[in-house]
Structure 1
Amino acid sequence: MKVTIKDIAKKAGVSPSTVSLVLNNRPCRVSQQKRDEIKQIAKDLNYTANQIARSLVTKQTKTFGLIIPDIENIFFSSLAKHIELQCRSHGYTLIIVNSNDQFENDIALLDLLLSRSVEGIFLIPGSESWQNKTELIKKLQLLPVPYILLDRVFSELSCDKVWFDNEYGAYIAVKHLLENGHRKIGCIASSSFVNGQFRLNGYLRALKEFNIPINQNNIVTGDYKKESGYVAGKELLKKDITAVFITNDMMALGFIHSIYEQNKTIPNDYSVISYDNTIYPYLFGVELSSIKQDVKKLSEAAFKQLYEKTQKKVNVQKDICLQPELIIRKSVRNMHA
């Protein structure tokens, strides 16, 4: 049978209310010795608090919700891990749900989390939601709890946001290829969401800065998943290019697969820079240069803002833009050498 506060109170010879005060570290008129005794009894009986009952008293569930678009994507799963660690360190539980990049799921999961009485919501909208952003924005504006947009944000929505400068990240990646003498640079992009469009803009910006004509045939689209990177790779390898910028790591995995199928190597045959810096530990034979987005910084900034909102410590909305960085390894050949 589950141990209750009444069981502890009976064994300690005090009232249940006294046990509750002691276990919640709240002031009460008992000696330190009795406090220690009550806590030891609770430990010996393997007592765990009933969070549902506690929330009825405190009016707090100590629960946040996180909606991510693709739990199989290493970037999002890593982000979920770091947010959960932040929540747990502050006594909060995190409910993680996956939208599978679908707009209808974003809407349904917002309602699901509200039905679980979460105190706040972290949201990374799915790719389909970019096409239906007017409806999603209306939904968000009616939410009865604080929320924050992560990684993928809507510029026209006034709310709390934490994101990375995607255009700058792509720009410094392609600039690195250009500085190493590459002029025929392919790109595997995804314009299905605003981040992908920003990364494509960064690619174009770097080429224009170096006065390189834009060849639209060297730009192939994908959907941020491995298979699309493989298909795009097979198409790009037919073209006259020396380097490829890939706008996320999952597509980079697919592209590397297509490289190996052609018995080509990186960087001798093709130089490659990816985006996210999440797959490097799992690659064999490729020292992949990549754009790093620090998920720890992202999670810390997002949690701090949402937590302070729920605690009513801040009322102002914050739009926080973090800077990505280029991690240089050995996947880019110097054409000047």
Structure 2
Amino acid sequence: MRVTIKDVARECGISAATVSLVLNDKECRVSEATRAKILRIAAEMNYRPNHFAVGLVTRKTHTIGLIVPDVGNFHFAEMSKAIEQECRNNGYIVILGSYGESDEQAYAYFKEFIDKGVEGIIFAKPMLVELSEKDRQCFALAESASIPVVTFEPVEVQATVGVVSYDYEAGGYLASKHLIDLGHRRIGCLTGPDNMISSVARREGYKRALAEAGIPFDPTLLYEGDFAVQSGIEALPHLLGQGVTALFTFNDMMALGVYKAARQYKLKIPTDLSIVGFDDTFLNEILEVPLTSVTHPADSLGKESAKRMLSLIRGEASYEGSLFPPTLMVRGSSVRLRV
């Protein structure tokens, strides 16, 4: 059973109020001998302060909630690690919730974290172009609890929201222009869900690169995926049927699915099909054919989101967003088109 201040006070023969002041390093009129006695007995009894109980009074639990779609996704796993490290370096702990594909679960985490007294929530959910009702309810909960939220895409809500964002449109442009510069004209595009802000932005970058090169946009070269490996497996036969020579996938997980399907179709990457991914996860360099990919720095985004959250909690930061620029890491999966 956890040792309490009352237990320490009973052992010392001193009032609980005095013991509390000493253990919390508050000013009080006690002799140095008495202070030393209290600290010695507390240590002998393995007394540890109950930060949750203190937090109920002070509203300072030094705890931050983190909600992500899938910790099995390399991008979100790396991001979570960076957030946890930055928070821990600043005296905060992180509690994690992974909601899968369930908006109801994300909402349940908001309620649970707020009930546990978190001082803020980092909501790493890809936002929709039209915010869902359940997401609005999440932000309303945070608003009612007067705690800040940090997101990775801008949202229009009443809650105090800090944004740490990324230039997805520029990333889509870089990936597509790279393939165009290599001579490809039939460039397939394996997208994410069409109602996501980040997916729409990447697609617009793809279209801008085509327009600059004078290549007509062909909607039959698009295949809507869901950012999972299986999407890449399912997309490849359709896109091959459209005569593509290159493929831009909106994340590296779907690119891995394309790699797997390419083996089934006896296709060689990049000889038969050039591929560019997105996220630049650590696996890209250890693939048999290393994957060209647009950087989406999970560690930097995670660290910045934690810094932004801590600033909001301390009342130090404005709520203007940060925008991370993309870069392209060129590797063996993309080569000049052979004619």
Query: What TM-score, normalized by structure 1, do the two folds share?
Result: 0.85
Residue deviations 1:56-84, cap 9 Å, x none? Answer: 34332222112212232221122122112
Deviations 1:165-209 (A, max 9, x none): 101011111111122222221110122311111111111111111
Residues 308 and 200 of structure 1, relative CA distance in 2, 3 Å threshold:
same
Following superposition, the deviation at residue 248 of structure 1 comes to 0.9
Is 2:291 the partner of 1:288?
A: yes
- Is the contact made by 2:107 and 2:137 (CA closer than 8 Å) also made in structure 1? no
> 253-262 or 32-41: which moved more?
32-41
Go from structure 1 to structure 2 and tell me whether the alpha carbon gap of 1:240 and 1:317 turns closer, same or farther (over 3 Å shift): same
In the superposition, relative to structure 1, how do residues 3 and 219 fare at CA in structure 2: closer, same or farther (>3 Å)? same
Partner residue, 2:152: 151
State the percentage of identical aligned residues. 33
- DSSP 3-state at the match of 2:170: helix
* 1:109 equivalenced with 2:112 (yes/no): no
CA RMSD in angstroms, aligned pairs only = 3.1
Aligned to 2:229: 226
Change over 3 Å in CA distance of 1:185–1:52 after alignment to 2: same
Name the counterpart of 1:118.
118
1:105-164 deviation per Cα after TM superposition (whole angstroms, max 9, x unaligned)? 33333222222222111113366x65553563365244423333422433x447321111
Query: CA contact under 8 A between 1:184 and 1:242: conserved in structure 2?
Result: yes
Q: Which residue identity is paired with 1:150?
A: T
- 1:33-78, CA deviations, whole angstroms, 9 ceiling, x for partnerless residues? 9978876765565443222232234332222112212232221122
Separation in structure 1 between the aligned mates of residue 90 and residue 25 of structure 2, nearest angstrom: 16
Tell me which residue corresponds to 2:209. 206
Say if 1:245 and 1:272, in contact at 8 Å, map to a contact too.
yes
Are residue 253 (structure 1) and residue 256 (structure 2) matched? yes
> Is 2:219 the counterpart of 1:216?
yes
Whole-Å Cα distance in 2 between the matches of residues 261 and 213 of structure 1?
A: 31
**SS at 1:203 equivalent:** helix
- What corresponds to 1:265 in structure 2? 268
- Structure 2 distance, partners of 1:231, 1:124, is 27
Q: Which amino acid aligns with 1:262?
A: Y
State the 1:234 CA deviation: 2.4
Matched with 1:55 is 55
Q: Give the count of matched residue pairs.
A: 334
* Correspondent of 1:197 among 195, 200, 207: 200
Q: Which moved more, 1:171-180 or 1:52-61?
A: 52-61
Task: Name the aligned partner's letter for residue 248 of structure 1.
Answer: N
Question: Is 1:185 equivalent to 2:179 in the alignment?
Answer: no
Residues 283, 256 of structure 1: alpha-carbon distance in 2 compared, 3 angstrom cutoff: farther
State the 1:102 CA deviation: 2.9
SS at match of 1:237: helix
SS for the counterpart of 2:241 is: coil
CA contact (8 A) 2:66 2:121 kept: yes
Q: In the superposition, relative to structure 1, how do residues 13 and 208 fare at CA in structure 2: closer, same or farther (>3 Å)?
A: same
Q: Is the 8 A contact 1:99 1:126 kept in 2?
A: no
User: Displacement, 1:218?
Assistant: 1.4
Task: Report the Cα distance in structure 2 between the residues aligned to 1:217 and 1:48, rounded to whole angstroms.
Answer: 63
What is the TM-score normalised by the length of structure 2? 0.85
> Structure 1's 326 and 39: CA in aligned 2 closer, same or farther, altered over 3 A?
farther
